[in-house]
Amino acid sequence: MGTTTTRALKWAPRLLGIAVSLLLGILSLDAFDRGTPFVQALPDFLMHLVPAVIVSSVVALAWHREWIGAVLFAVLAAAYGVMAREHLSWIAAISVPLLITGVLFGWSAMHRRAGA
């Protein structure tokens, strides 16, 4: 593969993982709905940030070991799919990007191994 394809293959899962983490962080802002005092909503907000922190941690772990990202993102996608099995739109919005990120990390890992 060309250097442009190789660079895209390396950066795509990392950037998508960061984007998913940011999406989860933005979704956690729903803890601050109207009428709830800030101090009361803060613990809920922090609890809702846990998935974003987990995804960020997986991206950090997978930065140099792509196979870790492939496995952990697939596990996160499956776990969320099971937890939200009654909400198909939630699964589409959260599990699918997690699974795509895992596939991209796996593809990147296989490409690196084939090149090494």
- Residue 77 confidence (pLDDT): 98
- Residue 1 confidence (pLDDT): 61
- List b or e across 44-64, with b for residues whose CB sees 16 or more CB atoms inside 10 angstroms: ebeebbebbeebbebbeebee
Task: Give this prediction's pTM.
Answer: 0.90
- List b or e across 19-37, with b for residues whose CB sees 16 or more CB atoms inside 10 angstroms: ebbebbbebbeebeeeeee
Of 80, 22, 31, nearest to 52 (Cα)?
A: 22
- Residue 33 confidence (pLDDT): 84
- Where the chain has pLDDT below 70, the residues are 1, 116
pLDDT in tens, 46-78: 999 999 999 999 999 999 999 999 999 999 999
- Residue 116 confidence (pLDDT): 58
